[in-house]
Amino acid sequence: MRTTAEIAAQISEEFSLLESWEEKYDYLIEKGQNLPEMPAELKSEEHRVKGCQSSVWFATECREGRLYFQTDSDSLIVKGLAALLFELLNGQPAEAYATVDLSLFDTLGFWRHLSSQRSNGLTAMVSFLKSAAEECAARMGG
């Protein structure tokens, strides 16, 4: 399995080919639309990320010390951000979440170009996943 650093480099390269912010947002939305469908029954309060203005859900599963998740959002931009997290982190070892380097979002310029609500939402999504990963690692005795 590729490391988060390798995946981040690939994502960064993909976005670097896009010249305008309109193209980058379109690509981000496209990434969200390409996410695997999340079953409706998983879009519950239990899986809803608190701190997001939009509704966003992460259904996590710990298998053999790795955190897997499904995600969806009712906002196209937020769903795109969730898709980047999915691409970057889904299936990674639980311990990797604690030290994941999110400078990718700086590199891509998203921290500068997102509204404060969306930035807060992205931070909440990452916190949600890190918390699930901690629980996963603890269950594995890590």
**pLDDT for res 6:** 93
What are 37-46's pLDDT values in tens digits?
Answer: 999 999 999 9
Active-site choice (28, 38, 52, 108): 52
| Residue ranges covered by each domain of the chain | 4-139
CATH of 4-139, one of 3.40.228.10, 3.40.50.150, 3.30.70.920, 3.90.1010.10: 3.90.1010.10
Mean pLDDT value across the chain: 92
Specify the DSSP element, H or E, that contains 24.
Answer: helix 21-33
Is 62 in the active site? no
Rounded Cα distance, 115 and 27, in Å? 18
Task: Find out whether 109 and 80 touch, Cβ atoms under 8 Å.
Answer: no
What are 33-78's pLDDT values in tens digits?
Answer: 999 999 999 999 999 999 878 899 999 999 999 999 999 999 999 9
What are 97-107's pLDDT values in tens digits?
Answer: 988 878 888 88
**pLDDT for res 109:** 85
This prediction has a pTM of 0.93
**pLDDT for res 114:** 80
Task: Find out whether 82 and 124 touch, Cβ atoms under 8 Å.
Answer: no
Residue 138: C-alpha distances to residues 51, 89, 94, 115, 126 (Å): 25, 18, 9, 35, 18
What are 113-130's pLDDT values in tens digits?
Answer: 787 778 888 889 999 999
